[in-house]
Copies of this chain bind each other. A is one copy, B any other.
Amino acid sequence: MPSRSLSQLDRALRGLRSLVLSGEYVGGQRLSEVAMAAQLGLSRTPLRQAMDRLVAEGLLERIETGGCRVASFTKDDISDAIEMRGVIEGTAARLAAERGVDAALLAQAGAILDRIDQALAAPDGLDFDRYVTQNAAFHDLLAKFPNSPIVAREIQRMSLLPLASPSAFLSDQAMIPDFQESLRYAQRQHRAILEAVTAGEGARAEALTREHARLALINFNHLNKSRPMLTRNVPGLALVASD
């Protein structure tokens, strides 16, 4: 049976995370546990578990006197989060290059990049959904290259911060100028990363992967210029102070 009945904790996590990212509760006000539990239709126990977890993820922050509030991020925070993801993914790429990667994984990565190429060569210029899916798959796979649970964990963790994940800015292409060109550039970087890893070129793999992450930074900056109208569309953007 593939569809296990979701636990209350899972429901609380999904519901709470989505509510928080929507920006509805932004403003530093304390989240009321009873109200939230009622809204989500569960008891305080799993809700509090979910809150603890979101605090650990950084989406919520504790209030000294009790309870928690939605965290708020500066633009610099997002910038740092993206940089950190690049650093950690870059480390994965470097370690992979230095230690070698299972041939099956490399082949799998190559196949993913082929599919991205196909997405970029679609009849109407771009199969966007396919690009998004396969891009996420490539990054997931890269995290597994070094065969290190520690490294994989840290990558996954960084990707939880709002707007720091490799797919964070792929839902809002419309607002990003020359965005198809940007996707093609990103794909060339993908190829170069895989090539460097395969060739055992650690420094190159690391540098390329860092630079690749910085595409997200560019997109973030574009996004900020047409901010107000997007705040409600881009999940997590509402948590970024407009300063």
Contacts and interface: CB of A to CB of B under 8 A. Distances in A.
Contacts of A81: 150
A188 interface: no
Name the residue in A58, A88, A154, A158 with the highest tally of chain B Cβ atoms < 10 Å from its Cβ.
Answer: A154
A56 B58 contact: no
A65 to B, nearest CB: 12
Interface residues of A, number: 26
A153 B95 CA distance: 23
A111 to B, nearest CB: 27
B49 A80 contact: no
A52 interface: yes
Q: How many copies does the complex hold?
A: 2
Given A77-B148, A148-B77, A148-B80, A58 B88 contact: no
A184 interface: no
Contacts of A83: 91, 95
A84 interface: yes
Contacts of A161: 150
A71 to B, nearest CB: 10
A7 B157 CA distance: 28
A154 B53 contact: no
Interface in A135-189: 146, 148-151, 153-154, 157-158, 161
Interface of A: 48-49, 52-53, 56, 58, 76-77, 80-81, 83-84, 87-88, 91, 95, 146, 148-151, 153-154, 157-158, 161
